[in-house]
Structure 1
Amino acid sequence: MNKEQLFQQIREKKSFLCVGLDTDIQKIPRFLLDTTDAIFAFNKEIVDATHDLAVAYKPNLAFYESLGVNGWNSLEKTVNYIRYNYPDLFIIADAKRGDIGNTSSLYARAFFDSMDFDAVTVAPYMGEDSVKPFLTYVDRWVILLALTSNKGADDFQYMSEDGERLFERVLKYSSEWGDEENMMYVVGATRAETLSDIRKIVPDHFLLVPGVGAQGGSLAEVARYGMNKQCGLLVNSSRQIIYASSGEDFAAKARSAAQEVQTEMAGLLDQYL
């Protein structure tokens, strides 16, 4: 999916919601454990209930890898189900990969050829040659970690040298590796005012923004500081939506939670675009 197609989905749905499929076998409704593939059964119901309210889904691979081969099978079935039934949705592998070039080439092959994701999250620490292999795929995306929403972000990301913070240097260097047609950035919502500094460096790139909802980030503040003329935002919500209920009504409750977010997003799009 290219940038214009993604923006078209945002316009049509009046939404820039990304639903995080952080599907934990220990948290899903217990009655699903009687099915042959509880993880896939849960994901299928969540996607069916929210597909018209979201423009993207983001499976966090740790939740699937922790289950071994069965988890990978559930992940593959989830991606295939979305591709077949809702082909206009953007699918992100939240994998946080990044290694020497030949290894990154195999990661890229795994996520883009074998698994058919649109995008993969990548850690920038090893530099350009660890990221470039992902950028060789047409209409596929690297989502580079720039400024995360966790407490440990303070350990390194705000380090300053000559007035330039580390996350700002990451943005400046990496923006030369790709462009706004194949690279996005992970930017946490918990310090939304920093988005204005980020937009000075990458005004036209899409930003994947976690931290809204259960982590306390403000959607209104994210839009205020981070939205550009093509929206430029994918705001992720995971627990707030997918675990809105642990009962048999979990899918209906997930839809209600997603609807609440989408309604606010529609108002923000009208306000800023």
Structure 2
Amino acid sequence: MTTLQLVNQIKQKKSFLCIGLDVDLTKIPQHLLELEDPIFEFNKAIIDNTHDLCVSYKPNIAFYEAYGLKGWQSLKKTINYLNEKHPEIFTIADAKRGDIGNTSTMYAKAFLEDLNFDSITVAPYMGKDSVEPFLAFENKFAILLALTSNEGAFDFQTKKSPETSEVEELYKTVIKTSKTWKNSQNLMYVVGATKAEYFTEIRKIVPNSFLLVPGVGVQGGSLQEVCKYGMNESIGLLINSSRAIIYASNGKDFAEMARNEALKIQQQMEIILNTD
């Protein structure tokens, strides 16, 4: 998928919602556990009831790896279903990979070729040779962890580094440095919604890049604040919501209730887009 295709989908759906498919068998409706593949059946029902309200789905890979081979098979069935039924949807493998170059190449092949995701989240700690393998695929994206929404983000990401010409926070150095990497036009960035006050500074560095924004809703982030400081001319935001949508109900009405929650967010986004 190209950036233009993603932008067009946002305009058509009046939404920049990304739904996280973080499936925990202890939280899904119990009647699904009687089925052969409860993880896939849960995902399929969520997708069938929300695909017109969102532009992206983001399975967190840990929630599939935890169930071994069966979990991986459920993941493959889910991404295949999305690619076959809704090829316009932007898919994100939330894998947070990042290793030496040849290992990253294999991770990239696994998620961007075999599973055929449109993008994958990656960690920047090991530098360009660990990230550039993910950037080598045409019309695929690496979404770099830049400024995350968790409490531990303050351990390193916002610390100032004296090693730079300007004493600046580490997350700024990471984003600036990433722009020098080969095929950096294929980069997006993870920026937590709970750090809304930082969006202005981030937009000075990457004014045109898409930002994947977790942390709206359950984690306390404000959609309005994120849009105020983070939106650009092409929208440039993917707002992720996981638990608030997919676990809106643990009864047989779970898919309907998930749609209701997704619709609430989509309607807020439509108002913001119309205001702009």
TM-score range, shorter chain: over 0.9
SS at match of 2:58: strand
- Give 2:188's aligned residue: 184
- Give 1:73's aligned residue: 73
Residue 230 to residue 217, structure 1, CA distance change in 2 (3 Å): same
Paired with 2:275 and 2:214, the residues of 1 have a C-alpha distance of 22
1:259 aligns with 2:237: no
Paired with 2:183 and 2:225, the residues of 1 have a C-alpha distance of 25
1:222 aligns with 2:226: yes
Paired with 1:32 and 1:7, the residues of 2 have a C-alpha distance of 35
In the alignment, residue 56 of structure 2 is paired with which amino acid? Answer: A
Q: Is the 8 A contact 1:149 1:189 kept in 2?
A: yes
TM-score (norm 2): 0.97
C-alpha root-mean-square deviation of aligned residues, in Å? Answer: 0.9
Paired with 1:149 and 1:185, the residues of 2 have a C-alpha distance of 13
SS at match of 2:194: coil
Q: Deviations over 1:123-157 (max 9, x none)?
A: 00000000011111000000000000000001000
- Give 1:231's aligned residue: 235
Displacement of 1:180:
6.7
- Give 2:215's aligned residue: 211
Paired with 1:178 and 1:132, the residues of 2 have a C-alpha distance of 6
Q: Is the 8 A contact 1:2 1:181 kept in 2?
A: no
In the alignment, residue 180 of structure 2 is paired with which amino acid? Answer: E
Displacement of 1:175:
1.4
SS at match of 1:27: coil
SS at match of 2:95: strand
Q: Which runs of 5+ in 1 are unaligned?
A: none
The residue correspondences of 1:48-67 to structure 2 (distance < 5 A) are 48-67=48-67
1:102 aligns with 2:102: yes
Displacement of 1:271:
2.0
Paired with 1:172 and 1:99, the residues of 2 have a C-alpha distance of 20
| Paired residue total | 272
Between 1:162-171 and 1:250-259, the stretch displaced more is 162-171
Q: Is the 8 A contact 1:18 1:55 kept in 2?
A: yes
Displacement of 1:177:
1.4
Residue 178 to residue 58, structure 1, CA distance change in 2 (3 Å): farther
TM-score (norm 1): 0.98
Q: Which runs of 5+ in 2 are unaligned?
A: none
SS at match of 1:125: coil
- Give 1:150's aligned residue: 150
Identity %: 59
Q: Deviations over 1:181-209 (max 9, x none)?
A: 41100000002111011000000000000
Q: Deviations over 1:31-50 (max 9, x none)?
A: 00000000000000000000
Q: Is the 8 A contact 1:210 1:235 kept in 2?
A: yes
In the alignment, residue 158 of structure 1 is paired with which amino acid? Answer: T
In the alignment, residue 220 of structure 2 is paired with which amino acid? Answer: G
Between 1:178-187 and 1:165-174, the stretch displaced more is 178-187
SS at match of 1:191: helix
Q: Deviations over 1:36-92 (max 9, x none)?
A: 000000000000000000000000000000000000000000000011111100100
Paired with 1:53 and 1:176, the residues of 2 have a C-alpha distance of 35
Displacement of 1:267:
1.0
SS at match of 2:193: coil
SS at match of 1:190: helix
